[in-house]
């Protein structure tokens, strides 16, 4: 069975068994089972517990996988580590197609031999195994969710085109919780922990071919198959962007990685070189990871490095200019025709140059005129629009004018807007219409620089004489 087929059985199972299912709300197996039920998973669900008395969470339950009497597409194992090998024997006997072991207590705590048994049994029986020591998988489209996080503690993200893989369950759950407040959605989530069988290479290959996935973001601690990972990344970045944040870059961090998922972190320089060589975009923080995911899901590739700034606040325009050059982008000169058009549309107090400060009383008509003129300028590759909703002229009409313009533009456009509840309402308005909004000029410029870097990888950059 190919690893793509293995992940298909995990992500799109017709049937799921939860081994360790329980009616005790404090048990991991209860939370996983209840999440499948509460999220509306439509396939068959088989609760399995050796102490079962016949029903768990209102469903018919079984003492063993062997008692179900039919093959199960996907088995989720949430029992103590020492019991897992015998459950895997049951998986083999029941001809299960894919397995995730969420249980911890293996190589990450020194139980190397116990973990080796898991790898041996997966190979012996021919099923794919994800984990151990992980959260497993989530598919937003069909409500598959093996995460042992109560839904009331976790803001579930909306359906979207970003897929997220994380070696760390804690980082994975935190990022997913944060995504619910961002302007993009999630297609798939894969937490793979100690990677005893399925690893980073298999995940990249699966997500590269997954039609729901437009952008891949990755929290990575270590790589077991370096050369294969590099080749998989090269193949993947030719068709969709891959953004990676690497844990364990410092010596202290590398030591923490070994005790977390029993991975070898490797050297900082080696990973940086590998990322550059393979076309991976590196994020330096979780904020970067989210910022880059947002721009890659919503924006087209950039034809060049030039960024125009439109603002209704002069100081913010200055900060944006600094950020553009700090990130090795440039601010272009406007064409004479563009400048003439802007001169007719702007009041005399506005200087017709970039950054274009339209003054504090700029309204939707001024924003619309600036966007139309500057967006059509052949010297402009990307646009930062700074909308400060605290000013007298900025209201819902300004947000609507940006949304309307964004719907027809073929150049990358981002908005910078920060403030309290009034601003946040307009941020949500724009982001619900696929306009990426950032809180600072620095964030916007870094995101555009990441987009430009990947655009060069994809060969989208305009050829110059």
Q: Answer yes or no: do 76 and 173 share one domain.
A: no
**Banded model confidence at residue 398, pLDDT cuts 50, 70, 90:** very high
143 within domain boundaries: no
**Same domain, yes or no: 346 and 366:** yes
What pLDDT does residue 152 have?
Answer: 72
271 & 342 share domain: no
pLDDT tens, residue by residue, 453-465: 999 988 865 554 3
pLDDT grade for 260, boundaries at 50, 70 and 90: very low
Q: What is the pLDDT of residue 460?
A: 60
**CATH number for 445:** 3.40.50.261
Give the residue among 370, 421, 427 at the shortest CA–CA distance from 396.
427
What ranges make up the beta strands (E) of 274-396? 281-283, 307-311, 356-357, 382-386
Residues 276 and 315 in one domain: no
* pTM: predicted TM-score of the whole model, two decimal places: 0.92
Residue 291 CA to residue 437 CA, distance in Å, equals 9
**Domain shared by 62 and 36, yes or no:** yes
Tally of structural domains, the chain: 3
What is the signed CA dihedral for 384, 389, 390, 392, rounded to 10 degrees? 110
Rounded to an integer, the average pLDDT of 238-249 is 90
Does residue 95 fall inside a structural domain?
yes
Residue 147 lies in a domain: no
State how far the Cα of 420 lies from the Cα of 424, in Å rounded to an integer.
6
Helix (H) or strand (E) holding 107: none
Domain interval for residue 115: 1-134
Mean pLDDT of the region 216-238: 94
What is the band of 249 on the pLDDT scale with cuts at 50, 70, 90? Answer: low
**What three-state secondary structure class fits 246?**
strand
CATH of the domain at 69: 3.40.50.720
Choosing from 298, 314, 339, the residue where a domain stops is 298
What are 39-53's pLDDT values in tens digits? 999 999 999 999 999
User: Could you report the per-residue pLDDT of 97-154, keeping only the tens digit for each?
Assistant: 999 999 999 999 999 999 999 999 999 999 999 999 999 999 999 999 999 987 777 7
Within a domain: 463: no
Region 362-378: mean pLDDT is 97
**pLDDT at residue 259 tops 90:** no
Write the pLDDT tens digit of every residue in 311-327.
999 999 999 999 999 99
* Structure confidence by residue, pLDDT tens digits, 268-325: 788 999 999 999 999 999 999 999 999 999 999 999 999 999 999 999 999 999 999 9
Dihedral pair phi/psi, residue 99, rounded to 5°: -140, 140
Please, are residues 8 and 36 in contact by the beta-carbon 8 Å criterion? no
∠ CA 74-75-79 to the nearest 5 degrees? 165
- Number of alpha helices (DSSP H) and beta strands (DSSP E) in the chain: 16, 19
Q: Considering only CA atoms, give the Rg of the chain.
A: 25
Tell me, yes or no, whether 306 and 291 share the same domain: no
> What are 217's two structure tokens?
């973001």
Supply the pLDDT for residue 463.
52
Distance CA 362, CA 163 (A): 39
Question: Binning pLDDT at 50, 70 and 90, where does residue 185 land?
Answer: very high
Torsion of the alpha carbons at 239, 240, 241 and 245, rounded to the nearest 10: -110
Asked if the structure places residue 384 within a domain, the reply is: yes
Tell me what pLDDT residue 465 has.
36
pLDDT of res. 1: 59
pLDDT of residue 4: 78
Lowest mean pLDDT among 69-78, 103-112, 153-162, 345-354: 153-162
- pLDDT for 25 beyond 50: yes
Return mean pLDDT, the chain: 93
Task: Please indicate, yes or no, whether residues 291 and 316 belong to a single structural domain of this protein.
Answer: no
């Amino acid at each position: 069975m190919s690893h793509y087929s293995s992940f298909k059985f995990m992500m799109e199972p017709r049937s799921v068994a939860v081994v360790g299912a329980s009616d005790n709300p404090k048990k991991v197996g209860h939370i996983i089972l209840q999440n499948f039920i509460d999220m509306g998973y439509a396939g068959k669900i088989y609760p399995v517990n050796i102490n079962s008395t016949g029903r768990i969470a209102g469903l018919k339950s079984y003492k063993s996988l062997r008692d179900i009497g039919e093959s199960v597409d996907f088995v989720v194992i949430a029992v103590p580590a020492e019991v897992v090998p015998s459950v895997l024997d049951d998986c083999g006997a029941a001809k299960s197609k894919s397995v995730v072991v969420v249980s911890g207590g293996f190589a990450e705590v020194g139980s190397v031999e116990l973990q080796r048994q898991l790898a041996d049994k997966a190979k012996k029986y021919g099923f794919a195994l994800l984990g151990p020591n992980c959260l497993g998988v989530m598919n937003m489209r069909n409500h598959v969710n093996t995460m042992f996080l109560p839904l009331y503690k976790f803001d579930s993200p909306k359906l979207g085109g970003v897929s997220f893989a994380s070696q760390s369950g804690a980082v994975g759950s935190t990022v997913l919780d944060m995504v619910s407040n961002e302007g993009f959605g999630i297609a798939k989530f894969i937490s793979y922990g100690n990677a005893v069988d399925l690893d980073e290479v298999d995940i990249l290959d699966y997500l590269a071919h997954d039609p729901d996935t437009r952008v891949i973001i990755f929290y990575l601690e270590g790589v077991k198959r370096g050369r294969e990972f590099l080749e998989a990344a090269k193949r993947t970045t030719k068709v969709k962007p891959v953004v990676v944040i690497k844990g364990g870059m410092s010596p202290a961090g590398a030591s923490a990685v070994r005790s977390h998922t029993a991975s070898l972190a490797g050297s900082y320089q080696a990973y940086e070189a590998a990322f550059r060589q393979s076309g991976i975009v590196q994020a330096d923080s979780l904020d970067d990871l989210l910022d880059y995911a947002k721009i890659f899901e919503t924006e087209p590739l950039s034809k060049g490095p030039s960024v125009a700034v439109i603002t209704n606040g002069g100081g913010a325009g200055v900060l944006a200019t600094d950020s553009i050059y700090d990130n090795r982008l440039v601010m272009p000169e406007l064409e004479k025709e563009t400048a003439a058009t802007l001169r007719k549309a702007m009041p005399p107090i506005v200087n017709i140059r970039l950054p274009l400060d339209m003054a504090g009383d700029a309204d939707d008509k001024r924003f619309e005129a600036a966007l139309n003129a500057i967006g059509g300028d052949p010297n402009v590759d990307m646009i930062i629009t700074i909308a400060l909703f605290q000013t007298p002229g900025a209201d819902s009409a300004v947000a609507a004018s940006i949304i309307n313009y964004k719907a027809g533009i073929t150049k990358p456009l981002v908005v910078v807007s920060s403030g309290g509840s009034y601003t946040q309402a307009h941020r949500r308005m724009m982001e619900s219409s696929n306009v990426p909004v950032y809180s600072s000029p620095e964030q916007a410029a870094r995101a555009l620089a990441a987009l430009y870097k990947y655009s060069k990888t994809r060969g989208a950059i305009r050829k110059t004489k």
